[in-house]
Amino acid sequence: MDLPGVEFFIISSSSIKDIFLIDPKLIFKSVQKCRVTNMFAAPTMIKLMVDSFDAERFDHTSMKTLNYGGAPMLVEDLKEAMTKLGPCLVQLYGQDESPMTITYLPHGDHVLDGSAEQMK
Protein backbone atom coordinates (compact mmCIF):
# COMPACT_ATOMS: atom_id res chain seq x y z
CA MET A 1 0.00 0.00 0.00
CA ASP A 2 1.32 3.43 -0.83
CA LEU A 3 1.63 6.06 1.87
CA PRO A 4 -1.00 8.49 0.51
CA GLY A 5 -3.70 5.87 1.15
CA VAL A 6 -2.63 5.26 4.74
CA GLU A 7 -4.11 8.47 6.19
CA PHE A 8 -7.65 7.19 5.61
CA PHE A 9 -6.95 4.18 7.82
CA ILE A 10 -5.28 6.29 10.49
CA ILE A 11 -8.15 8.81 10.60
CA SER A 12 -10.78 6.06 10.73
CA SER A 13 -8.96 4.14 13.50
CA SER A 14 -8.60 1.15 11.19
CA SER A 15 -5.76 -1.30 11.00
CA ILE A 16 -3.94 -2.57 7.94
CA LYS A 17 -3.00 -6.21 7.46
CA ASP A 18 -0.53 -6.69 4.61
CA ILE A 19 -0.33 -10.22 3.28
CA PHE A 20 2.46 -10.63 0.77
CA LEU A 21 1.72 -14.23 -0.16
CA ILE A 22 -1.28 -15.39 -2.14
CA ASP A 23 -2.07 -18.16 0.30
CA PRO A 24 -5.84 -18.76 0.70
CA LYS A 25 -5.42 -20.38 4.12
CA LEU A 26 -3.37 -17.43 5.41
CA ILE A 27 -5.87 -14.95 3.95
CA PHE A 28 -8.92 -16.65 5.49
CA LYS A 29 -7.08 -17.19 8.79
CA SER A 30 -6.24 -13.47 8.93
CA VAL A 31 -9.81 -12.49 8.03
CA GLN A 32 -11.11 -14.65 10.88
CA LYS A 33 -8.51 -13.62 13.47
CA CYS A 34 -8.47 -9.88 12.71
CA ARG A 35 -12.18 -9.64 11.80
CA VAL A 36 -11.25 -8.06 8.45
CA THR A 37 -14.13 -6.03 7.00
CA ASN A 38 -12.63 -4.72 3.75
CA MET A 39 -9.99 -6.02 1.38
CA PHE A 40 -8.83 -5.87 -2.22
CA ALA A 41 -7.94 -8.86 -4.37
CA ALA A 42 -7.31 -9.43 -8.05
CA PRO A 43 -9.67 -11.92 -9.73
CA THR A 44 -6.93 -14.58 -9.79
CA MET A 45 -6.56 -14.26 -6.01
CA ILE A 46 -10.31 -14.62 -5.53
CA LYS A 47 -10.28 -17.71 -7.77
CA LEU A 48 -7.54 -19.26 -5.60
CA MET A 49 -9.48 -18.40 -2.44
CA VAL A 50 -12.72 -19.90 -3.77
CA ASP A 51 -11.04 -23.04 -5.16
CA SER A 52 -9.44 -23.78 -1.81
CA PHE A 53 -11.55 -25.41 0.86
CA ASP A 54 -10.55 -22.69 3.32
CA ALA A 55 -13.70 -20.63 2.69
CA GLU A 56 -15.66 -23.36 4.45
CA ARG A 57 -13.12 -23.83 7.28
CA PHE A 58 -12.79 -20.25 8.46
CA ASP A 59 -15.30 -17.61 9.52
CA HIS A 60 -15.21 -14.81 6.95
CA THR A 61 -18.58 -13.25 7.82
CA SER A 62 -16.84 -10.09 9.05
CA MET A 63 -15.82 -9.27 5.46
CA LYS A 64 -18.38 -6.72 4.30
CA THR A 65 -16.52 -5.60 1.16
CA LEU A 66 -14.17 -7.56 -1.08
CA ASN A 67 -13.07 -5.12 -3.77
CA TYR A 68 -11.77 -6.74 -6.93
CA GLY A 69 -10.35 -5.43 -10.19
CA GLY A 70 -7.18 -5.14 -12.19
CA ALA A 71 -8.19 -7.90 -14.62
CA PRO A 72 -11.34 -9.45 -16.07
CA MET A 73 -13.17 -12.08 -14.03
CA LEU A 74 -14.91 -14.99 -15.72
CA VAL A 75 -18.67 -15.05 -15.16
CA GLU A 76 -18.59 -18.61 -13.77
CA ASP A 77 -15.79 -17.69 -11.35
CA LEU A 78 -17.77 -14.64 -10.23
CA LYS A 79 -20.89 -16.74 -9.61
CA GLU A 80 -18.89 -19.25 -7.58
CA ALA A 81 -17.28 -16.45 -5.55
CA MET A 82 -20.69 -14.89 -4.85
CA THR A 83 -22.02 -18.27 -3.72
CA LYS A 84 -19.09 -19.12 -1.42
CA LEU A 85 -18.17 -15.67 -0.11
CA GLY A 86 -21.60 -14.04 0.08
CA PRO A 87 -22.72 -10.56 -0.95
CA CYS A 88 -19.43 -8.77 -0.27
CA LEU A 89 -18.06 -8.34 -3.81
CA VAL A 90 -17.51 -4.86 -5.26
CA GLN A 91 -16.03 -4.57 -8.74
CA LEU A 92 -13.63 -1.70 -9.46
CA TYR A 93 -12.80 -0.63 -13.00
CA GLY A 94 -10.45 2.17 -13.92
CA GLN A 95 -7.03 3.54 -13.11
CA ASP A 96 -5.96 2.13 -9.76
CA GLU A 97 -3.55 4.99 -9.19
CA SER A 98 -6.36 7.52 -9.66
CA PRO A 99 -9.33 6.31 -7.56
CA MET A 100 -11.58 9.24 -8.39
CA THR A 101 -11.84 7.91 -11.96
CA ILE A 102 -12.81 4.37 -10.98
CA THR A 103 -16.18 2.94 -11.94
CA TYR A 104 -17.58 0.39 -9.52
CA LEU A 105 -20.30 -2.25 -9.40
CA PRO A 106 -21.62 -2.28 -5.81
CA HIS A 107 -22.76 -5.25 -3.71
CA GLY A 108 -26.44 -4.97 -4.61
CA ASP A 109 -25.84 -4.87 -8.37
CA HIS A 110 -24.09 -8.24 -8.44
CA VAL A 111 -26.73 -10.68 -9.71
CA LEU A 112 -26.24 -14.42 -9.35
CA ASP A 113 -28.81 -15.48 -11.96
CA GLY A 114 -28.24 -12.90 -14.66
CA SER A 115 -26.97 -12.83 -18.22
CA ALA A 116 -23.26 -12.51 -18.97
CA GLU A 117 -23.80 -8.80 -19.67
CA GLN A 118 -25.47 -8.29 -16.28
CA MET A 119 -22.59 -10.07 -14.53
CA LYS A 120 -19.92 -7.72 -15.91
Average pLDDT over residues 36-63: 92
CA distance 59 to 8: 26
Q: Is the dihedral of CA 49, 50, 56, 61 positive or negative?
A: positive
CA distance 112 to 55: 18
C-alpha distances in angstroms, 18 versus 15, 52, 102, 112? 10, 20, 23, 30
CA distance 120 to 116: 7
pLDDT-derived band of residue 87, with 50, 70 and 90 as boundaries?
A: very high
pLDDT-derived band of residue 111, with 50, 70 and 90 as boundaries?
A: confident
Q: Which domains does the chain have, with CATH numbers?
A: 21-119 (3.40.50.980)
Of 58, 63, 21, 57, give the one whose Cα is nearest residue 38: 63
Of 12, 63, 76, give the one whose Cα is nearest residue 34: 63
Q: pLDDT averaged over the chain?
A: 82
